[in-house]
Structure 1
C-alpha cells in the first residue's frame, strides 16, 4: 500500500479512529448516483449534487419543491412512485424500481431507484458519522428517515429495447418461414394428389 504524504497525514483519520462528519458528507456529495435523505413523513432533508446531472435542477431547488421528488417524475409513473414512497416512509425497502425522470431540458431519462430505512447503531453520537447502521431512530425507537439512491439506466433501457425489437424481428422471420414451409407442404401434398389421380386415370385408360 502506498504510504500517505505529509498533507494526507495531517488531514485524514487513521484506520479505526472516529471519522469526522465532513468526510461522510464529502463521500455522499461525490457519488455518481443521485442520493437523498427523507424524513419519516417523506419530506426531503438532503440531496447530493448528482441531482443536477439527472434532472437539471440544483439540490437547493429540489429542497424547495413541494412533494419532492414527484414533480421530477413523468406523469405516467408518478402515482406508482408515490405509492412506493409512502411505503418507504413507514420503513419499507425496495431495490431497482424503474421510472422516468422529467429533466429540465425536456428529456425523460430512465432511472432505477432503491431505498432503505436508516438506523443508528449508536455510532451517530460517537463519531459524527452514520455508524454501522442503516437508518436513524430516536430514543423512542421511532423511524426518522430513509435513504434513496437512484442510478441512470437510460442506456440499459435503450439496449433492452433494441434487444426486444431484434427478438421480435427474429420471431417474425421464424413465423414467416414456418408459414412458407406450411405452404410448400400444402403445395407438395396437392401435387402428390394430382400425380396419384393421373396415374389412376392412366391405368383406367389401359
Structure 2
C-alpha cells in the first residue's frame, strides 16, 4: 500500500498467499470523526464495493491502524458492475463515433472553405492579371491612388505621355502635382475633391510639363473606388494625351474668329447696300408715282373731254394708258410697302387673330358687294406678333380667298388653328379655284402668277409680302390645293 503505515505494509507484503488474495491496492484518504466512525463505515463499504475492492483498513491520525475489514461482494453485484462498465464503454464508443462524425463534417466544411478560398484567390489573381494586361496595353495612362492620394499603381503609358516612368510616380507621390502646369493645378485639385466627396463630375483637361520643358494637354477623369461595405478605398485616374485635339480646336477657334470677323464685315456691307437700295427704291417709287398719277389723270381727262372726237382705236389707246398707269401705281405702292416691311422694327404683343379676321372681312365686304361669302372663324385664336404686319398678312390671304372664289355662287372661307408637335399652325382655307401642287413653291416668289390675269386680277406680289412677314416672325408658310377644289394656306409664327 503506497501510503499505508509501516506495520501494515509489512503485514501485506509478508502474506505468503501472494497478490491474488488482495489484488490491486487502492488508497482513498477520507477524514472522519471518531464518534461517527460506526455510521460512516457502512457508507464507505458501499462505495468501495462499487469498485470491486475486497479489503479495508482504518488508520488513525497518528498512522496507527484502528482496524480492518475484509469486504465480500456477491456475484450479482459484480455482474452489475461489469454491466455498468460495458454500458459506459458502449456510451463512450458511441460518443467517440458521434464526435468523429462531427469532426469529419467539420473537416469537409473546412475543406470546402479552403477550396473556395483557393478558387477566389485564383480568380482574383486572374482578374488582376487581366486588368494589368488591359491597363498596361491601353492607349491611355491609368493609375490608382490610395485614400491618402498616394500612387500605388501606374501603367507604363505614363512614360510616353509625361516622360516619367511608372516607378517614379509610385516612389515620389508629389511628382504628378509637380508636373501639372501651375495655372491648371487648381482645376485638377477641384476635380479630385469633387470625386472624393462623391459628387458626379465630368472629365477635365489641363496641361503638364515634360522633363524636356515641352507641354502637353491631357484629358483626365477620376473615379472613386469603394469596397463591398461602401467604404472609400481610393481613386482611379484615367488620362489621355489630347494635345493634337487641342491644336485642332485652337485652329478651328481661330478660323471661326476669322470667319465671324469676315461675316460681321460682310454683314455691315450688306446692311449698307440694303439701306442704299431701300433708299433708292423709296426715292424711285416716289419719283415715279407723281408722273404716273398725272399720266392716269390725263388719259382719263382725254376720254372724258375728247372721247366723242376719238375713234375706236384712239379710245382703246387712252383706256390702255389709264389701265396700265393704275397697275404700275399699284406695283409701286406694293414696293413701298415691302420696303417698309424690311425697315420697320417688330412690335411684338398678344393679338386676337379671330377678331382681326372679322375686322378685315368687314372691310373687304365693300370690295365684294353682292358676293355670297360665308366666313367661319375659330374663336379666341391668340398669337404673339406685330399687329400691323400680321394685319397686312391676313388681309392679303383673305383677299386672295375672296378673289379666287369669285366664280362660285356660294363661297366658304375658314380661319382656324391646329397643334402640330410643339407649335401652333394657323390656316386659311377656301373652296375656290385652287391650284396645281407643282406650282406650290412658285406662288411665293415676287411677281409670279399661276393664274392668268384675264381670269383673276393682281400683280403677283401679295403672297411674297405674306411670306416676308411670316419669316420676320421666325415662322414659315406653305400651301396645299387642288384645281377647282380650293386651297389652304398654313403658317406658323
Do the structures match in fold with TM over 0.5? Answer: yes
- Can you list the C-alpha shifts for 1:39-84, whole angstroms capped at 9, x where unaligned? 1121221111111111101111222334342112111101221122
Q: 1:113 aligns with which of 210, 220, 227?
A: 220
Matched pairs, number: 167
1:143 aligns to 2:250 (yes or no):
no
Q: 1:92 to 1:146 in 2, by over 3 A?
A: farther
Higher relative contact order (CA 8 A, sep 6+): 1
1:23 aligns to 2:112 (yes or no):
no
**Would the aligned equivalents of 1:37 and 1:46 in 2 still touch at CA under 8 Å?**
yes
CA radius of gyration, larger in: 2
**Would the aligned equivalents of 2:194 and 2:201 in 1 still touch at CA under 8 Å?**
no
Q: Distance in 2 between matches of 1:113 and 1:94?
A: 11
**Would the aligned equivalents of 2:219 and 2:241 in 1 still touch at CA under 8 Å?**
yes
2:191 alignment counterpart: 84
**Would the aligned equivalents of 1:42 and 1:86 in 2 still touch at CA under 8 Å?**
no
**Would the aligned equivalents of 1:44 and 1:68 in 2 still touch at CA under 8 Å?**
no
**Would the aligned equivalents of 2:180 and 2:207 in 1 still touch at CA under 8 Å?**
yes
1:175 aligns to 2:264 (yes or no):
yes
Q: CA-atom RMSD, angstroms?
A: 2.9
Q: 1:69 to 1:87 in 2, by over 3 A?
A: farther
Instruction: Tell me the CA shift for residue 192 of structure 1.
Output: 7.3
Q: How does 1:115-130 map to 2 (within 5 A)?
A: 115-121=222-228
Q: Distance in 1 between matches of 2:159 and 2:261?
A: 43
Q: Distance in 1 between matches of 2:187 and 2:267?
A: 41
Q: How does 1:1-206 map to 2 (within 5 A)?
A: 18=123, 20=126, 21-121=128-228, 141-188=230-277
**Would the aligned equivalents of 1:100 and 1:108 in 2 still touch at CA under 8 Å?**
yes
**Would the aligned equivalents of 1:37 and 1:45 in 2 still touch at CA under 8 Å?**
yes
Instruction: Tell me the CA shift for residue 86 of structure 1.
Output: 2.6
Instruction: Tell me the CA shift for residue 143 of structure 1.
Output: 1.2
**Would the aligned equivalents of 1:91 and 1:146 in 2 still touch at CA under 8 Å?**
no
Larger proportion of helix: 2
Q: 1:101 to 1:183 in 2, by over 3 A?
A: same
Q: Distance in 2 between matches of 1:191 and 1:151?
A: 61
Q: 1:27 to 1:178 in 2, by over 3 A?
A: closer
Q: Distance in 1 between matches of 2:200 and 2:154?
A: 19
Q: Which stretches in structure 2 are left out of the alignment for 5+ residues?
A: 1-121, 289-493
Instruction: Tell me the CA shift for residue 115 of structure 1.
Output: 1.6
Q: Distance in 2 between matches of 1:191 and 1:100?
A: 58
**Would the aligned equivalents of 1:33 and 1:149 in 2 still touch at CA under 8 Å?**
yes
**Would the aligned equivalents of 1:70 and 1:82 in 2 still touch at CA under 8 Å?**
no
Q: Distance in 2 between matches of 1:59 and 1:25?
A: 13
Q: Distance in 1 between matches of 2:145 and 2:198?
A: 11
Q: Distance in 2 between matches of 1:147 and 1:27?
A: 14
SS in 2 for 1:36: strand
Moved more, 112-121 or 43-52: 112-121
Q: Distance in 1 between matches of 2:130 and 2:281?
A: 84
2:49 alignment counterpart: none
TM-score by length of 2: 0.30
SS in 2 for 1:101: strand
